Amino acid sequence: MNILILGGGGREHSLAWAVKQNPKCDRLIVAPGNAGIADIAWCADLDIEDGEAVVQFAEDHAVDFVIVGPEAPLAAGVSDDLRAAGFLTFGPSKAAAQLEASKAFTKEICDAAGAPTAAWARFTDAKAAKDRIQDIDETIVIKADGLAAGKGVIIAETPAEAEAAIDDMFGGQFGEAGAEVVIEEFMTGEEASFFILCDGQTSLPIGTAQDHKRVGEGDTGPNTGGMGAYSPAPVLTDEIAQRAMDEIINPTLAEMAKRGTPYSGVLYAGLMIENGAPRLVEYNVRFGDPECQVLMMRLGGQALDLMQAAAEGRLNEKVVHWADDHAMTVVLAATGYPGAYAKGSVIKGLEGLAQDSRHMVFHAGTRESDGDIVASGGRVLNVTARGDTIAGARDAAYEMIDKIDWPEGFCRRDIGWRVLG
Ligand code: AMP
Ligand code: GLY
């Protein structure tokens, strides 16, 4: 089977790594890929948000299966173009990708499906939004409706902060994404991520994880794309996961099917858990990054069979074979991230590291330059390890980190603290 993966971050490196372990995989192409992915696949230069170009590329290279990594090509309808041209594709349609591309859409679906989530209201102008919050003196959440690269959510603790956020969003800070604004009740509890494969009819949970979004230790400082993650998430017990399936996920999937836009691909549910009850924070229509890295580390080659079954509508035939273990990934980022950072510094010490089914350095933002691996992004490496316990996974990951020589980078030393103390 010739496989094309769209994307070029740590998530796609881990997808490529897992897929490659499956003997079904003949040729593996990743577009655009990165310096780490280039070790295991051909990295092709391709505009992955241009559906026509992706279809042409798939035709030219006899691709049998396309796995779409990030949300942008999904929101642009690339999976629809691929399916229309007859390519087997993992990833939802543009219509179903609204579950990530529009926060108001998701809230409407939740209401229609009776899925528990924060109380909410949508606004198309600043005055109406401000009028509504005037008498509220508790923390509220202000969100740009559209895709804003994880930056369009403001937790406002005072009315002044809320008003400033509303002005910024309608003032164009997030471009088109802020043309509509959703205001939500602030939920308390512990957050966890739940990943479910869907084929339009059947849903199959494939794991839980928790990530650390803030840049600073103790979960302080500005938000990032994620500084580290571990799987499984102990807070998402089997019982709570079952409740989430019954009360949130399956009703959502039924509502999507009823509307004529069945969901197929991976659904990533961000849950807030309090007193044993899950509520939905948000959906994403792709794997989390860096959560995917820990899921792939634990799933290995069966990930390809599972994604293929989802794309072919055969998930009812599948079970997930779990090793009873843990995985952790720690993000090495460029100094300054998530603010301004320099690119181009050389990373040394990678050659000597173990790369096997229990240890992997996934590349997130790297390129090759004159034989060196250099940083080319904010999040640069995802140092990932498995262990029999979460503490064992953590120790193995930090042991690898300590062998990497990259003075221009940094990491959090406390990934997993909620579980490990
Ligand atoms: P989102 O992009 O919707 O995932 O929001 C980013 C982060 O903001 C989430 O992971 C939560 O930590 C936080 N957040 C979003 N909505 C709420 C809410 N209604 N209550 C509490 N925290 C929230
Ligand atoms: N790690 C959070 C995300 O992928 O959205």
Instruction: Return the SS3 of 89.
Output: strand
pLDDT band at residue 146 under the 50/70/90 scheme: confident
Return the amino acid letter for 203: S
Atom of ligand 1 nearest to the CA of 282: 3
- Whether ligand 1 lies within 6 angstroms of the CB of 118 is answered as yes
Residue nearest to atom 14 of ligand 1 (CA): 281
Q: Name the percent of the chain lying above pLDDT 70.
A: 100
Dist. CA 406–CA 54, nearest whole Å: 36
User: Same topology for domains 2-92 and 326-420, yes or no?
Assistant: no
The pLDDT score that the predictor gives to residue 222 is: 87
Task: Kindly list the domain boundaries of the chain, sorted by start residue.
Answer: 2-92, 125-179, 190-317, 326-420
CA of 199 to the centre of ligand 2 (A): 22
**282 in contact with ligand 1, CB cutoff 6 A:** yes
Q: How far is the CA of 226 from the centre of ligand 2 (A)?
A: 6
CATH code of the region 125-179: 3.30.1490.20
Q: Is 190 in the pocket of ligand 1 (CB under 6 A)?
A: no
Structure tokens that stand for 17 in this block: 């790594």
pLDDT at 102: 92
What 3-state class would DSSP assign to 88? strand
Ligand 2 in contact with 291 (CB < 6 A)? yes
Q: Which amino acid is at 123?
A: F
Q: What is the CATH number of domain 326-420?
A: 3.90.600.10
We find that the CATH architecture of domain 2-92 is: 3-Layer(aba) Sandwich (3.40)
Question: Helix count (H) and strand count (E) of the chain?
Answer: 14, 23
Place of tokens 């992955």: 48
CB distance 288 to ligand 2 below 6 Å: yes
Closest ligand to residue 282's CA: 1
The mean pLDDT value for 123-141 works out to 85
Q: How much is the average pLDDT of 334-343?
A: 95
Comparison of pLDDT for 121 and 263, the residue scoring more? 263
Angle of helix 250-258 relative to helix 103-113, nearest 10 degrees, comes to 100
CA-closest candidate to residue 298, choices 266, 328, 327: 327
Higher pLDDT, 414 or 223: 414
Q: pLDDT tens for residues 204-237?
A: 999 999 999 999 999 999 889 899 999 999 999 9
What is the per-residue pLDDT across 101-118, written as a single tens digit (0 to 9) for each?
A: 999 999 999 999 999 999
Q: Is 211 in the pocket of ligand 1 (CB under 6 A)?
A: no
The verdict on the CB of residue 382 being under 6 Å from ligand 2 is: no
Nearest ligand, measured from the Cα of 185: 1
Beta bridge partners of 55: none
**Per-residue confidence (pLDDT) for residue 172, from 0 to 100:** 81
Q: Which residues does 267 contact at the CB level (< 8 Å), separation at least 6? A: 99, 195, 196, 197, 198, 203, 249, 252, 253, 283, 284, 285
Query: In the CATH scheme, what is the homologous superfamily, with its name and number, of domain 190-317?
Result: ATP-grasp fold, B domain (3.30.470.20)
Answer whether residue 241 shows pLDDT above 80.
Answer: yes
For the segment 11-37, the average pLDDT, to the nearest whole number, is 97
Q: Write down the pLDDT at residue 153.
A: 87
d(CA 375, CA 408): 9
Q: Look at residue 265 in the predicted model and tell me its pLDDT.
A: 98
Give the whole-angstrom CA distance, residue 357 versus residue 160.
51
Does the structure show a pLDDT above 80 at 151?
A: no
Residue with CA closest to ligand 2 atom 4? 288
Q: Whose CA is nearest to atom 3 of ligand 2?
A: 288
Biggest CA-to-CA distance, the chain: 62
- Using a 6 Å cutoff on CB, does residue 177 contact ligand 1? no
Q: Mean pLDDT across the chain, nearest whole number?
A: 95
Asked whether 278 lines ligand 2 (CB < 6 A), one says no
Percentage with pLDDT > 90 across the chain: 84
Do 292 and 364 form a contact (C-beta atoms < 8 A)?
no
Cα 280 to ligand 1 centre (Å): 9
Amino acid letter, residue 245: M
**How would residue 87 be classed by pLDDT, with cut points 50, 70 and 90?**
very high
The atom number, within ligand 1, closest to the CA of 118 reads: 19
Rounded to the nearest angstrom, the distance between the alpha carbon of 193 and the centre of ligand 2 is: 9
328 C-alpha to center of ligand 1: Å? 22
Least confident of 75-84, 159-168, 188-197: 159-168
Give the Cα separation of 146 and 175 in Å (integer): 9
pLDDT tens, position by position, 375-402: 999 999 999 999 999 999 999 999 999 9
Lowest-pLDDT choice from 27-36, 155-164, 318-327, 353-362: 155-164
Distance from the CA of 281 to the center of ligand 1, in angstroms?
6
Confidence of residue 268 (pLDDT cuts 50, 70, 90): very high
